[in-house]
Amino acid sequence: DGGITQSPKYLFRKEGQNVTLSCEQNLNHDAMYWYRQDPGQGLRLIYYSQIVNDFQKGDIAEGYSVSREKKESFPLTVTSAQKNPTAFYLCASSDRDRGHYEQYFGPGTRLTVT
Amino acid sequence: AQSVTQLDSQVPVFEEAPVELRCNYSSSVSVYLFWYVQYPNQGLQLLLKYLSGSTLVKGINGFEAEFNKSQTSFHLRKPSVHISDTAEYFCAVSYYTGTASKLTFGTGTRLQVTL
């Protein structure tokens, strides 16, 4: 089955540690996205990538970093510079050939930093 | 700039009753509109989308929405809800920046269906 996988589903870290969230897709989509979700705030865009080896900052990129070395993979690193990292993180992808309009989402990773 | 407003943060409704979840958008360019559903601790699933054509759009699970350009609205409706419809619903607008396509989401409406 085609889809997006995110691992792990739950992640716990101590304050001051960097942590990397995995996102893999087998939909052959060009574009991939990372969102952060907090209660009552909807989804906010962290980073996005339209093609391999290229990515752009979204609305709340500070304290985060990404890489796009392969079409299928778009890992997100939450660095110690992110002041409030505890949140639910969602990865998505879209098909450039269909105008990117519709995004497909992974199941999410809930990160808790104490 | 694009923005989406979901006027109700929570909507309680009894099972088998009709429901409407409201969504208003603002945009200076052509828009493409979506409704997504999120069950607890899961990702988002597309319910329906409006790209062009008929303003009445039918989606999965018996939901439908009507695009109203003059009122800049895209309200979601279901004539008879089920307990399993309890979830968070997000309205979103897609727009092209010239180099990339993005989605802007509303803050969500929690639909609580009870017996």
**DSSP per-residue codes, chain B:** --EEE-S-SEEEEETT--EEE--EEE-SS--EEEEEEE-TTS-EEEEEEE-SS-SEEE-GGG-EEEEETTTTEEEEEESS--GGG-EEEEEEEEEE-SS-EEEEE---EEEEEE-
- Angle at alpha carbon of residue A56, lines to A52 and A61, rounded to 5°: 130
**Which region, left, alpha or beta, applies to residue A71 given φ > 0 means left and ψ of -120 to 50 means alpha?**
alpha
Average pLDDT for B73-98: 92
Note the pLDDT of residue A98.
Answer: 58
Q: Any chain B CB within 8 A of the CB of A107?
A: yes
Residues of A in contact with B103 (CB under 8 A): 33, 43, 45, 103
Does the pLDDT of residue A97 top 70, yes or no? no
8 Å CB contact between A87 and A111: yes
Q: Chain A: nearest CA to B81, how far in angstroms?
A: 23
For the stretch A38-96, pLDDT in tens is 987 889 999 999 889 999 999 999 999 999 999 999 999 999 989 999 999 999 999 86
Q: Which residue has the higher pLDDT, B74 or B30?
A: B74
Q: Residue B56: is its pLDDT beyond 70? A: yes
pLDDT tier, A1 (very low <50, low <70, confident <90, very high otherwise)? low
pLDDT tens digit sequence for B8-50: 999 999 999 999 999 999 876 777 899 999 998 899 999 999 9
For residue A39, what pLDDT is reported? 84
pLDDT at B30: 72
pLDDT above 90: residue B68: yes
Q: Is B1 on the interface with A (CB under 8 A)?
A: no
* Interface A-B: count of C-beta contacts within 8 A: 61
